[in-house]
Amino acid sequence: MFKISGYQVVTKLYESANSLVYRGVRELDNLAVILKILKEDYPTSAELTRYKQEYEITRSLNSNYLIKAYSMEKYQNTLMMFLEDCQATPLNQLLIEQHLHLEAWLDMAIKITEGLGEIHAANLIHKDINPANIVFNPYTNQLKIIDFGISSQFSRENPTLKNPEVLEGTLSYMSPEQTGRMNRSLDYRTDFYSLGVTLYELFTGQLPFKTSDALELVHCHLAKKPQPPQEVNSAIPSTIANIIMKLLEKMLKTVTKVLGALKLISKFASSNGRRWGISKLLP
């Protein structure tokens, strides 16, 4: 474990191709923090510029559903970002470790959609919405969207054709236009597709397309229709299944419509006495 002045590094949380993530404590006030550092000892100027952009985007956002950035400091030949630590667990981990009520996932779906709406209201596209980039603390009921590493200002960019192995984002959750294989500009609707894939997995326990082959997965996103969620899990209400499929078909074009539909389902379930909450997450 490395040392950095003014902080106690507690444990390593995650390692990706580009970065290392640790949990730590700021010694000045015992504030729990997440420390994120570029993996390369000598990052290029382009990598440093991009990392600074990620920090500035994260710092500019002010929402209960989005992770907060505290500061960025130089560390040896690279940069380290200090982020809010809400003691949360990524949803992809919860999917493996916990069996949740549908109502708990619905509550999270509303929070995710609220957060996505605030990202879009800031004229940003996240471009990597997936369960690994959404964290949840069952003790505080806090949910946060994290990792703005490839986020960008909304500008109707046109992705270029690339090898699927080097595409930006997480391929299993990537919209058809983000693959660069459609003659279509990239806008906020790419996040809606990724939201649809995410909700499909949260409610069914599996991805809409289960292949591990990158080229086949791109083809699935472009040309195939997934099995309806209620056929995978018959307990899923048709109203929720319809929202998920409409997101995947990009028929719901605004956060307001998605959120309104989810809240109506939530209100109906609550008024009819269905069990709510997150009790199965707690020991």
97 & 224 share domain: yes
What mean pLDDT is predicted for residues 192-199? Answer: 93
Structural domain of 125: 89-281
Judgement on whether residues 203 and 138 belong to the same structural domain of the protein: yes
d(CA 34, CA 66): 14
Is residue 2 a part of any domain in this protein?
no
CATH label of the domain that carries residue 146: 1.10.510.10
pLDDT at residue number 97: 85
Sort residue 170 into left (φ over 0), alpha (ψ -120 to 50) or beta.
beta
Residues 158 and 63 in one domain: no
142 and 73: one domain?
no
Residues 102 and 139 in one domain: yes
pLDDT digits (tens, 9 = 90+) for 136-180: 999 999 999 999 999 988 765 555 444 444 456 688 998 888 876
pLDDT at 271: 56
Q: State the pLDDT at residue 273.
A: 47
* CATH number of the domain within which 80 lies: 3.30.200.20
Number of domains in the chain: 2
More confident residue, 216 or 267: 216
pLDDT tens digits, residue range 15-36?
Answer: 888 899 999 999 999 999 999 9
User: CA-CA-CA-CA torsion for 67, 73, 76, 78, nearest 10 degrees?
Assistant: 50
Are residues 119 and 257 both part of a single domain? Answer: yes
Say which residues have a Cβ less than 8 Å from residue 21's Cβ, sequence separation at least 6.
Answer: 12, 13, 14, 15, 34, 35, 36, 37
Highest mean pLDDT among 59-73, 156-170, 201-215, 247-261: 59-73
Domain boundary among 19, 51, 84: 84
The C-alpha atoms of residue 32 and residue 18 are separated, in whole angstroms, by 23
Place of tokens 């236009």: 177
**Is 182 domain-assigned?**
yes
**Same domain? 73 vs 98:** no
Same domain, 79 and 148: no
Q: Look at residue 185 and tell me if it is in a domain.
A: yes
The burial class, CB within 10 Å (0-12 / 13-18 / 19+), for 82 is: buried
pLDDT band at 98 (very low <50, low <70, confident <90, very high): confident
Residue 277 has pLDDT above 50, yes or no: no
Could you give the percent of the chain with pLDDT greater than 70? 84
Same domain, 36 and 93: no
Asked if 45 and 61 sit in the same domain, the reply is yes
- Answer yes or no: do 165 and 230 share one domain: yes
Which of the listed residues 84, 114, 146 is the one where a domain comes to its end? 84
Lowest mean pLDDT among 34-48, 53-67, 267-281: 267-281
> Would you say residue 262 lies in a domain?
yes
| pLDDT value at 193 more than 60 | yes
Domain end: 67, 84, 101, which one? 84
| Within a domain: 1 | no
Measured torsion, CA atoms of residues 268, 270, 276, 277, in degrees rounded to the nearest 10: 100
Q: 260 and 121 share a domain?
A: yes
